Amino acid sequence: MKRYNSTLTKMTRRLGMAIAALLMLSTMASCSDQDSQAPATGDEAYLNLSFSTASTTTSRAGGAENIGNDETQANPNQESDIHNIKVWVFKSGTGGEAKPIAYKEDTPTAVDGSTVNSKYTLNLRLLRKINGEELKNIDLYILANSESTNMAKKLEGKDLRSITRAELQDVTFDNKFGITKEGKAETTEVPTEGLPISRAITNIEIADHVADTEIEAKNKGISIPLVRAVSKLHFYFARKTGEDAMTENVKVTRIEIDGKTFPKESYVFPDEEVYATAD
């Protein structure tokens, strides 16, 4: 995977300049923390982001298009539930040391006790200009259901609002989806926090998507399918027929797979994909 500051004002400057600098920093913080949903000013804009888990069969190992004639879709439907979502926004073209220009974390509101399934939309507010330069392209790192992994432990002590791109690229998880010493799966059912689902999309042109209000942004939305970070294996066996089959009394008692087939840990985010050509 690819590995990709702010300067302090001099203490000798006039008090008025220091106050102005503090006000500016306060404004930037309010734009990136996403806690406030006040109308955007001339220096800010909204983006409407629509995420989907595509289908209950989609994972990094393959998708619904790989289902055979006699195969069925993965169950249960909870595999595609979105319990919460985190979105990091980076300026396109920046390296691993870059920090987010915006960050938002959201928990969908359950309807009639049901979790949001498969699709979720949120509004994101960000600055139109970064260091005086108009923002034209952005990169998105999207993660749903992070609480179902030990990602937080791996990033202990780090502020998710200011985490670097490289730190996101490097973060891994190995629990609750690893293999025990006995060779059994740690998780055999969908956790209550859901399955980890993520994607990293780069070079999104935002000229046709940004708007001054949430309502206007809704009609200019960006749609991004997400991908499950874990997969299931199914094994199918059939008996041969005929006089020479010799399989009538054969029983499968155990399946062993080379230990190198499964990694001890997995990256939270897959490799970056360019928006224009992403599947």
Phi, psi of 271 (to 5 degrees): -60, 150
| Beta strand extents in the chain (DSSP E only) | 44-52, 81-82, 85-91, 102-106, 116-117, 119-127, 129-130, 133-134, 137-144, 172-173, 197-205, 222-225, 227-228, 266-267, 273-274
Q: What is the pLDDT of residue 27?
A: 32
Q: What is the pLDDT of residue 29?
A: 34
Q: Enter the pTM of the model.
A: 0.74
Gap between the Cα atoms of 29 and 165, Å rounded:
19
Q: What is the pLDDT of residue 219?
A: 93
pLDDT in tens, 201-249: 999 999 999 999 999 999 999 999 998 888 777 788 888 777 777 777 7
pLDDT in tens, 38-48: 455 568 999 99
Q: What is the pLDDT of residue 36?
A: 38
Torsion, CA 106, CA 109, CA 114, CA 119, rounded to 10: -50
Kindly state the tokens that stand for 120.
């979720």
**DSSP-derived 3-state class of residue 16:** helix
Task: Please give the DSSP secondary-structure letter assigned to residue 62.
Answer: B
Q: What is the pLDDT of residue 47?
A: 96
Task: List the beta bridge partners of residue 197.
Answer: 144, 228
| Strand 222-225 to 44-52 pairing | parallel
- Positions of the chain with pLDDT lower than 50, given as ranges: 1-38, 56-59, 61-64, 70-72
